[in-house]
Chain A
Amino acid sequence: MNANTWTIAAARDALRKGEISAVDLTMSCLTAIDAGDALNAFVHKTPELALAQARAADLRIAGGDAPDMCGIPVGIKDVFCTKGVPSQAASHILKGFVPEYESTVTAKLFGAGAVMLGKLNMDEFAMGSSTESSCYGPAVNPWKVDDVLRTPGGSSGGSAAAVAADLCLAATGTDTGGSIRQPAAFTGTVGIKPTYGRVSRWGIIAYASSLDQAGPMTKSVRDAAIFLAAMAGHDPKDSTSANMAVPDFEAALTGDIRGKKIGIPREYRIEGIPAEIDALWTQGREMLRDAGAEIVDISLPHAKYALPAYYVIAPAEASSNLARYDGVRYGHRASLAAGDGITEMYEKTRAEGFGPETQRRIMVGTYVLSAGFYDAYYNRARKVRALIKRDFEQAFAAGIEAILAPATPTSAFGLGEMDQATPVEVYLNDVFTVTANLAGLPGVAVPMGLDGKGLPIGLQLLGRPWDEAGLLNHAYVLERAAGFVAKPDKWW
């Protein structure tokens, strides 16, 4: 019955009506996962755990007290620490690491009865836009329109590929500079990065702590609302987690956005953006207007500095966070030559364990934080960040409810296509997404259609801080108007 293709909402209703068991639902996903190895999305499979959780979920559903996520089979990005299951953020340096503890997000999901199918591929330490920096090799986009294998985006590329290919009903992702929204756009799926502080970061392997935020990747906006509610909430173990009530996001999906002001930032009209994406942006604007929203041109004058500010701040935080990988407490340790001391152990371990992009970001971060350059780079970037945030605050103060922009500058590119590009050319993938992380705002990518090649393209909505409910309602309107129902042809 192909239950693996269902949405969370459909599966929830079918489970409650007794039309399917959680075990059968889980089995259909496990079968799809085993047939989907060519996608390289699941890198650690946990079928025994999944079936045990599914059996427990069936008992709970029979008992009549099942939360929304009870019995729903999901994939978990490899960046989440999961007790007893390898968690290595797609890095060789964490090879063999099996956490003794459970991340808050996965603990909450399991508490709600969700079923974990396994761990999902990603860029090493979430640094990248293609999953090509993964120690497991790249994940592959299920959308294949010619003889080219394409990236599902990154860093949450395994999550996006798994959801798009119906290997699971939904997956967790994390977003530091666009790592939920860009892969969602590349695979025709929905991805939301919540407001910074909405979801606990405890037990998530850190990249850039002031920017990292976890969120759901799903097949529909309604599923994103259901899944986010199960992930969100205050956690005393994360001092940046907000002590605020979690609204009923699903109940907010009324489809009524009459009179709401939608901002169109003129600075996002960048040179070289494909005509198809620009046309899509215009269409999205018209869809929201037809639904009764008021379209307002706005200016975010510092938006063009978001990318360089991000590539100072994120590596600076990464160089500090990743100092913990020293070959002493967990993960890989290099074999040492006679006479090697502790410094050689650190240097060899980190040279062997980290891939080239991770090494580069650690070194850039080390440089911008070093004596004599701290003010020129790091402090300046933090001041520009304050200005970027102020731009958004001024727009919201003027009554703007949500901001509509493209999600990505292109559709999915081919694996290997960026091999000869400079690091900066690769970083341009994040041009539309990093602003939300710098300003801490919620952002959602919604699939809108296919480009001329037949590849999915999406739009992005940015919302007011803590207004994921309103943001998802706007996304719901776009989703319904666009009517995107295409699925990739199965070739794997």
Chain B
Amino acid sequence: MSIDIDTARKVAKLARIRVEEAALPKLAEQLSGILGFMEQLNEVDVTGIEPMVSVTPMRLVRRADVVTDGNQQRAVLANAPDAREGFFAVPKVVE
């Protein structure tokens, strides 16, 4: 599977990583190399095999539906690049 420049641009967009136009050919080449390496997996007969979900077969543990934590506004916001009036602040989202 070869990745062209348009696909590389689209993947970067989906991943929310800005990639300059000039860097796209190199990125496409590297992604193609990595995906080419994965093509080996097509040699394996996987008929009737279930995709593995977890290493140890186990049911996800449930707990009582009760509050176990909270009232941590200061701690939650302590590392925010921009926190104001008890909230995370971001550039305007709604036009």
- Taking beta carbons and an 8 Å cutoff, which residues of A are in contact with B? 96-101, 196-197, 210, 236, 239-240, 242-243, 302, 304-305, 307-309, 311-312, 319, 323, 326-333, 336, 340-348, 350-351, 354, 359-360, 362-364, 366-368, 370, 377, 379-387, 389, 422-424, 427, 439-440, 465
The reply to whether the CB of B82 lies closer than 8 angstroms to some CB of chain A is: yes
Query: Besides A360-B34, A366-B14, 7 other CB < 8 A contacts?
Result: A100-B76, A239-B60, A308-B40, A309-B41, A350-B16, A363-B27, A364-B35
Contact A363 B40 (CB under 8 A): no
Contact A311 B38 (CB under 8 A): yes
Q: Select which of B33, B38, B43, B78 is within 8 A of A422 by beta carbon.
A: B33
Mark each residue of chain B from 1 to 31: 1 if its CB lies under 8 Å from any CB of chain A, else 0. 0010001100110111111000000010011
A363 smallest CB distance to B (angstroms): 5
Mark each residue of chain B from 51 to 64: 1 if its CB lies under 8 Å from any CB of chain A, else 0. 11111101011010
Contacts of B76 in A (CB 8 A): 100, 329
Q: Select which of B14, B49, B90 is within 8 A of A386 by beta carbon.
A: B49
A176 smallest CB distance to B (angstroms): 13
Contacts of B51 in A (CB 8 A): 379, 382-383, 385-386
Contact status of A387 and B15, CB under 8 A, knowing A308-B38, A311-B34: no
Contacts of B36 in A (CB 8 A): 424
Contacts of B17 in A (CB 8 A): 347, 350-351, 354, 359, 362-363
Total cross-chain contacts (CB, 8 A) = 168
Contacts of B93 in A (CB 8 A): 341-342
Kindly state the separation between the CA atoms of A387 and B45 in the bound complex, as whole angstroms.
10
Contact status of A328 and B90, CB under 8 A, knowing A305-B40, A386-B49, A389-B55: yes
Contact A350 B27 (CB under 8 A): no
Q: How many residues of B contact A (CB 8 A)?
A: 52
Contact A384 B46 (CB under 8 A): yes
Contact A331 B16 (CB under 8 A): no
Contact status of A383 and B52, CB under 8 A, knowing A328-B90, A346-B16, A351-B18: yes
In the assembled complex, 27 residue pairs joining A and B whose CB atoms fall closer than 8 Å, in A order, are: A96-B79, A98-B78, A100-B79, A101-B75, A197-B55, A304-B40, A305-B40, A308-B37, A311-B37, A312-B38, A328-B81, A333-B81, A342-B90, A345-B91, A346-B16, A351-B19, A360-B34, A363-B12, A364-B34, A367-B3, A382-B51, A382-B52, A382-B53, A386-B52, A389-B55, A424-B36, A440-B56
Main secondary structure of the interface of B (DSSP, over half): loop
The reply to whether the CB of B44 lies closer than 8 angstroms to some CB of chain A is: yes
Kindly state the separation between the CA atoms of A240 and B27 in the bound complex, as whole angstroms.
35
Contact B78 A100 (CB under 8 A): yes
Kindly state the separation between the CA atoms of A333 and B88 in the bound complex, as whole angstroms.
12
The reply to whether the CB of B84 lies closer than 8 angstroms to some CB of chain A is: no
Contact status of A389 and B52, CB under 8 A, knowing A100-B75, A331-B81, A336-B91: yes
Kindly state the separation between the CA atoms of A38 and B3 in the bound complex, as whole angstroms.
41
The reply to whether the CB of B65 lies closer than 8 angstroms to some CB of chain A is: no
Contact A380 B79 (CB under 8 A): no
Contact status of A363 and B11, CB under 8 A, knowing A311-B34, A465-B56: yes
Contacts of A348 in B (CB 8 A): 18
Contacts of B81 in A (CB 8 A): 327-328, 330-333
